Structure 1
Amino acid sequence: MIAQAKDVGLLLTPRQLFQQQTIEALAAVVIRESVAAPVIHAEQGLVSGPLPMTPAQLWWFEQQLSELHHWNQSLMVTISGQPDRARLARALGLLLERHDALRIRIDLSNGPMARIEAAVPSEELFTCIDLREMSDEASTEAIAGEAERYQQSLHLERGPLFRAILFDLGPERPSRLLLIAHHLVVDGVSWRIVLEDLERAYLAGEEHQTAFPSKTTSIKQWTEAAQALAKSGALSREAAFWNEQDQPGDLSIPLDDPAGARTEASAETCHLSFSREETEALLRQAPAAYKTQVNDLLLTALVQAFHQWTGEDRLLLDLEGHGRESVVPGTDLSRTVGWFTSMFPLLLRRPDGSTADIVKGIKEQVRAIPSGGVGYGLLRYLAHTPQGERLRHQTAPQVCFNYLGQLDRGGPEQGLFGLASEPTGREHGASNRMPYELAINADVTDGRLTMMWTYSGARFMRATVEMLAASYRRCLCELIAHCCAADAGGYTPSDFPDVQIDQDALDNILETMERSHAR
């Protein structure tokens, strides 16, 4: 919504969307602030040269993986109609000209050091595999085999780090397009931008002018500005919060076999799914009770499930966010491709008391995160200060949680591309070490909340993770039911940002008001 509004000259932020609850109120704020907002100057031409890395990229190199070249993200899509190979090749070339991150190369000899190439050879970018004469069964098998092979074809130094493989199935069957990118050059938000711009370029045909919107801040401009912000000391006030996330005491989670390998070869996934009715209640009804966001409720259920499993009242985990908050002055990443994900530790403490008390307590802990978590990566990886050094020696969380939101909502319908069901091949090299004992990814697709619990089958028995996932499901469903009950509800101090007040004092005021109203 924000990106599309910007295309017509209106500037708005996620905070404004939540604060202004009607179109009329939002329009008044947006029009006023769009006129007063400073102009963000984004380079519209080709960007190349040395590139400072983002915190996410530096985190990745910190993992010291054994197969650096094989750690990808990928997408398999269908193409409506018979694909025009020449037009698709041209569109892919325009896509790489527009998005500088897709032309990144990494020098590993003295570094690592990143740079953006001015151009990429076309033969590295696009490959067409003719499967028109194959049966459905044979072509499906061929696609799976080729996808597996091309997942291993990227190279940080030589390139490419982005490539497209067209599986031409003829006029009677929708062709498939496999897009593979090394994770160093894309994140989850990037894929929507890539698909939208690839469609624009393809549908423009042979015209020299493609109907792209104006470029937003380049990855090079953002990383340079982020470095300047980190070194300026403006984020130093956040250091105390991040230091508090590393508390004494053993918060490790129980493993079935601590001696087992934690490599991608041993990775297994437990899938958890919720009904459309449960998901609808979570998204539309439950947040109203305590003025929460969906992520607050998901994390509350997580703390409850881990408490039932371990008996521990604290849960240390890494949270992931899109990392594109307006923290770095003078930048706009709404249509910029790159890896901007924010990853930051959070020590969640389960409050004593009722379900209402627990929900309120977790909500307030999440609300206390400064800069949406972006500041942590800037301080740890870009500031080069004693504060950043302390953060680099904190206890590493064993659990990662990432709620990706509603993946099939919030953007224009894709007319040219549709998601395909074929597997894209293994995205990570088998010998790479998994960063976490448990990586939990959640999203809403086709109206259903689904979760993937990824773990090493050599360290956990499947029954253990299935038990934990089932416990989480019960906790979240109980939480939804509580929040949807007629007598549930309440406010927390973060609902009144202009007043310094704690929860007990706020509860006393609200109870006094309720008694007065009853009389």
Structure 2
Amino acid sequence: MALKATAVEHIHCDQGEVTGSYLLTPIQQWFFTNNFPENNHWNQSISFELKQTVDAGRLNEALNEVCRQHDLLRTRVLPGKAPRYADILPFAYTERLKTVEIPAHDDYEQRMQQELTAFQQSLNLQSGEVFKGLLIVSDTWSSSRLVLTAHHLVCDAVSFRFIAQDLLNSYQALIDKREIRLPQKTSSFIRWSNAVEAYAGRHEAVSKKNEWTKEIAAHSRNTKKGRSSADNLEGDAEQCLFSLSEEDTAKLMTEVSKNYSIQPIEVMIAALETMLHERDGADHSIYLESHGRDMLADQVDLSRTVGWFTNLYPLYFSADDISNTGATLKKVKDRLAAVQKRKFEFMLSDCPREAMDIV
């Protein structure tokens, strides 16, 4: 182990308030290229059931402390068809919590859905209102409900873990009349944006981006075409839900990995592609997603940074790739390993989002 160990350079992270403009990162720019009908309503949310009585004033103070700590929650994006920059505003104390009391004689479920819908629609990128809290109190229930919502442009699922932890710690400190002490900041999102921009111009990144350009051109002519973007609406989506038994789950997690040296995600991709092949026998591409926080790890520490770091990248399959189960699994494993070596560079490339249809 000592022979394999290498020195890791400490990454200094600014602990002060971070403000200013930054270039939108690839995933943020991807968001705006979709031309959604309502850019303000594309949120990530979590909900808590609160068994104890909550001091709404202290909770609002705690939400402000979270925004003070996590600078990207103060983001503003000025209007435009395809904005390239965003601003992180200076911290200012404001009402970030809305409290709603639902009387016992009201239809609780209906009223709650109305309040939640209005709350989710209240975010505003232009004014910098990208993170809020909603406290729902009712005599009908012994507990209250706290909902936190943030625009996806500034928050991913991983971020909410830090947000929830810091909110709880801040609130408890305020209740106990103690000094609020939160964990040290990691690299700012502005630093991440600068690192991505610098890397995009390096020879290694340019070479991998060129590989994507060639691959897209080679495969897009043969890829099965999906529905037009005009018809690709969330309201038209269908769900197919199923679950594995405990026995089948054990086989997926252990026996398959042992016999084929393959990961569960590779098994599921192979199953999906086999089904698509049986459906129409055509070539396909699917988009894969990763959290993205492992990229440029020698330059930035994103272990506790609030933001949106998702990677999206396509995985192409020819109809000739699908044969017997063992061969298909091996093909998926090899192809996924190859594409993951340049997954980050796809979002950095000039390949249009529609170049390979999403399944």
**TM-score using structure 2 length:** 0.89
Name the counterpart of 1:218.
Answer: 188
Q: CA deviation at 1:245?
A: 4.0
In 2 relative to 1, CA 330–359 (structure 1 residues): closer, same or farther, beyond 3 Å?
A: same
- Higher deviation after alignment, 275-284 or 49-58: 275-284
Partner amino acid for 2:69? R
- Which of residues 223, 231, 255 in structure 2 aligns to 1:285? 255
- Which of residues 16, 38, 51 in structure 2 aligns to 1:67? 38
Partner amino acid for 2:33? E
Name the counterpart of 1:155.
Answer: 124
Name the counterpart of 1:302.
Answer: 272
Q: CA deviation at 1:91?
A: 1.3
- Is 1:107 paired with 2:67? no
1:442-457 equivalent positions in 2, closer than 5 A: none
In 2 relative to 1, CA 292–57 (structure 1 residues): closer, same or farther, beyond 3 Å?
A: same
Partner amino acid for 1:92? L
Query: Using the alignment, how far apart are the partners of 2:114 and 2:104 within structure 1?
Result: 14
In 2 relative to 1, CA 193–134 (structure 1 residues): closer, same or farther, beyond 3 Å?
A: same
- Is 1:118 paired with 2:118? no
Instruction: Work out whether residues 245 and 347 of structure 1, in 8 Å CA contact, stay in contact via their aligned partners in 2.
Output: no
Deviation digits for residues 231-276 of structure 1 (CA, Å, limit 9, x no counterpart): 2333123134423244153423466xx7973334x33331312134
- Which of residues 186, 203, 212 in structure 2 aligns to 1:233? 203
Query: Using the alignment, how far apart are the partners of 2:40 and 2:112 within structure 1?
Result: 22
Name the counterpart of 1:392.
Answer: 352
Instruction: Work out whether residues 51 and 114 of structure 1, in 8 Å CA contact, stay in contact via their aligned partners in 2.
Output: yes
* Structure 1 stretches lacking a partner, 5+ long: 1-24, 381-387, 400-519
1:382-461 equivalent positions in 2, closer than 5 A: 388=350, 391-392=351-352, 395-399=355-359
Name the counterpart of 1:512.
Answer: none
Instruction: Work out whether residues 89 and 126 of structure 1, in 8 Å CA contact, stay in contact via their aligned partners in 2.
Output: yes
**TM-score using structure 1 length:** 0.63
The 3-state SS of whatever aligns with 1:108 is: coil
Query: Using the alignment, how far apart are the partners of 2:178 and 2:201 within structure 1?
Result: 42
Partner amino acid for 2:90? A
Name the counterpart of 1:189.
Answer: 158
Deviation digits for residues 123-182 of structure 1 (CA, Å, limit 9, x no counterpart): 2x1111123x425x7222221110011121111102311111001236962211111211
- Which of residues 332, 342, 347 in structure 1 aligns to 2:316? 347
Partner amino acid for 1:223? S
In 2 relative to 1, CA 259–288 (structure 1 residues): closer, same or farther, beyond 3 Å?
A: closer
Query: Using the alignment, how far apart are the partners of 1:88 and 1:276 within structure 2?
Result: 42
Partner amino acid for 1:249? R
Count matched residues.
353
Instruction: Work out whether residues 325 and 372 of structure 1, in 8 Å CA contact, stay in contact via their aligned partners in 2.
Output: no
Name the counterpart of 1:432.
Answer: none
- Which of residues 321, 331, 334 in structure 1 aligns to 2:290? 321
In 2 relative to 1, CA 201–330 (structure 1 residues): closer, same or farther, beyond 3 Å?
A: same
Q: CA deviation at 1:292?
A: 1.7
* Structure 2 stretches lacking a partner, 5+ long: none
- Is 1:251 paired with 2:220? no
Deviation digits for residues 325-361 of structure 1 (CA, Å, limit 9, x no counterpart): 1335311111111111111122123525431111011
- Is 1:49 paired with 2:9? no
In 2 relative to 1, CA 116–262 (structure 1 residues): closer, same or farther, beyond 3 Å?
A: same
Query: Using the alignment, how far apart are the partners of 2:308 and 2:9 within structure 1?
Result: 26
In 2 relative to 1, CA 259–162 (structure 1 residues): closer, same or farther, beyond 3 Å?
A: closer
Query: Using the alignment, how far apart are the partners of 1:111 and 1:245 within structure 2?
Result: 23
Q: CA deviation at 1:77?
A: 1.9
Query: Using the alignment, how far apart are the partners of 1:326 and 1:261 within structure 2?
Result: 34
The 3-state SS of whatever aligns with 2:285 is: strand
- Higher deviation after alignment, 105-114 or 138-147: 105-114
Aligned Cα RMSD in Å? 2.6
Instruction: Work out whether residues 64 and 93 of structure 2, in 8 Å CA contact, stay in contact via their aligned partners in 1.
Output: no
Partner amino acid for 1:54? T
Query: Using the alignment, how far apart are the partners of 1:353 and 1:396 within structure 2?
Result: 23
Partner amino acid for 2:74? R
